Amino acid sequence: MPTVAELSTPYGNFMLGPRHGPGVCRVCLNPTDGWGCCYACAHGGRWLDAMVPISYSVAGEQLHHALACYKRAPQPVAREFALGLAAVLWRWLRTHERCVARTVGETSFQLVTTVPSGDRLRAGAHPLQAMVAELVEPVRDRFEPLLTRSSKAVELRCFSRERYVARRELDGRAVLLIDDTWTTGANAQSAAATLKAAGAGPVAAVVIGRHVNRGWRDNDERLRALPTPFDWERCALCARERPAQTARAG
Ligand SMILES: [Zn+2]
Ligand SMILES: [Zn+2]
């Protein structure tokens, strides 16, 4: 059986860890035109207390491909991608769950859940839920499917408090919400709104890939400026406190 390090290391060869700074959305780390907040975050719901992407998912590139294949490829290919992505989540959460928790005033999250699949055709299958609940050791014992999709017709990619229904009251518990991809944030913010309405305490999201297009404005240049290889010891949160040593001294 391969180890978590063996399964996740190939992903470190192409993942790009987002960093806070000027020209990056303070909510979702989307590159912006100099604004502090991107259009989607400024105009959508804002219910998450924190959101941390592990990597950018660049359209058409390797992580984007993996995030599509673990859900849609035929077996056993899908399973292989699920194992790799689970190892990425495992390795990252083992080090950085505490960074996310600290940001929302907690030491850890009492409950961990996933954003239900947005694909109506897959309503019965939840590859992300299966991955987190079965494979991601640092959180699987705290996993609970807290949300289901509502039967209401809600416009795709738009924030709505009616997209999901909570399965139970949450009595102030801190919830870590895991999703595979963040594009506009509508799904995760809708999920957070429902969790809060059910009485959740702090709700933070960790997503594997923050979707970006390399061709937009100067994104290519900005993506090339990110630290490589992927730094497993730093996330977007703790990199602010402990910036990596740069190659050039003084
Ligand atoms: Zn944003
Ligand atoms: Zn961290």
pLDDT in tens, 105-153: 999 999 999 999 866 555 556 899 999 999 999 999 999 999 999 988 8
Q: Is the pLDDT of residue 246 over 80?
A: no
CA dist 46 → 51, 54, 159, 191 (Å): 11, 20, 9, 11
Q: Is the pLDDT of residue 28 over 80?
A: yes
Which one of the ligands is nearest to 103 CA?
A: 2
DSSP string of the chain, one letter each residue:
---HHHHHHHHHTT-B-----TTB-TTT--B-SS-SS-HHHHHS----SEEEEEEEEETTSHHHHHHHHHHHSPTTHHHHHHHHHHHHHHHHHHHHHHHHHHHTT-SS-SEEEEPPP--GGGTT--HHHHHHHHH-HHHHTTB---EEE-SS---TTS--TTSEEESS--TT--EEEEEEEESSSHHHHHHHHHHHHTT-S-EEEEEEEEEE-TTSTTHHHHHHTS-SS--TT--TTHHHHSPPPPSS--
Strand-pairing partners, residue 114, are: 178
Q: What residues pack around ion ligand 2 (CB closer than 5 A)?
A: 96, 99, 235, 237-238
- Centre of ligand 2 to C-alpha 43, Å, is 28
Which one of the ligands is nearest to 25 CA?
A: 1
- Centre of ligand 2 to C-alpha 98, Å, is 7
- Centre of ligand 1 to C-alpha 55, Å, is 14
- This prediction's pTM: 0.94
Strand-pairing partners, residue 203, are: 175
Residue 96 has phi, psi (to 5 degrees) of: -110, 0
**Which tokens belong to 110?**
């009492």
- Centre of ligand 2 to C-alpha 215, Å, is 29
d(CA 203, CA 190) in angstroms, rounded, equals 12
- Centre of ligand 2 to C-alpha 236, Å, is 7
Closest CA to 187 of 132, 126, 115: 115
What's the confidence (pLDDT) of residue 250?
34
* Structural domains present in the chain: 4-222 (3.40.50)
Strand-pairing partners, residue 103, are: none
pLDDT in tens, 60-80: 999 999 999 999 999 999 999
